[in-house]
């Protein structure tokens, strides 16, 4: 009887540990919805940052709509290249894909906290391989 209880307890421990490991592994395999890695860019066969974003995370480029009645055009993200303001989303087409380490999207609130006012469309941060 005692052996049976010990065996059941050991089995429960093994199953619990296995469940924890597999849950962690599956979370690691998920892609980050706000980050594009260089590996993803290479696999996408994109030639520039704009193509990479359009193929891998097109939601980076979409916004919810106009922020005021006076300006009916929806806000777009501001692009930063290696921490320096680079331009509008059109400027992504000038950044070669092979030189990119990561592309990260910051939602409007985070972009505003980091870079100040005027980021109603968020920000796209492109970090190159130095």
Q: Which residues contact 4 (CB under 8 A, 6 or more apart)?
A: none
Contact 111/63 with Cβ under 8 angstroms?
A: no
Q: What is the pLDDT of residue 62?
A: 85
The set of residues, in sequence order, having a beta carbon less than 8 Å from that of 64 and lying 6+ positions away, is 74
Q: Which 3 state secondary structure label does DSSP give 31?
A: coil
CA distance 68 to 66: 6
CATH number of 32-128: 2.170.130.10
Per residue in 45-92, pLDDT tens?
999 999 999 999 999 998 766 556 676 677 899 999 999 999 999 999
Tokens representing 127 are 């970090």
> Tokens 């089995």, residue?
11
Check: CB of residue 103 under 8 Å from CB of residue 53.
yes
- pLDDT tens readout for residues 26-43: 444 577 999 999 999 999
Task: Report pTM.
Answer: 0.73
């Amino acid at each position: 009887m005692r052996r049976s209880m010990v065996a059941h307890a050991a089995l429960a421990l093994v199953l619990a540990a296995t469940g924890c490991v597999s849950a962690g592994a599956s979370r690691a395999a998920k892609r980050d919805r706000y980050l594009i890695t260089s590996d993803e860019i290479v696999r996408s066969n994109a030639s520039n940052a704009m193509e990479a974003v359009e193929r891998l995370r097109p939601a980076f480029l979409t916004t919810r709509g106009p922020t005021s009645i006076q300006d009916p055009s929806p806000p777009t993200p501001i692009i930063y290249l290696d921490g320096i303001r680079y331009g509008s989303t059109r400027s992504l087409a000038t950044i070669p894909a092979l030189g990119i380490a990561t592309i990260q999207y910051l939602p409007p609130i985070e972009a505003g906290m980091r870079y100040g006012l005027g980021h109603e469309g968020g920000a796209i941060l492109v970090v190159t391989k130095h």
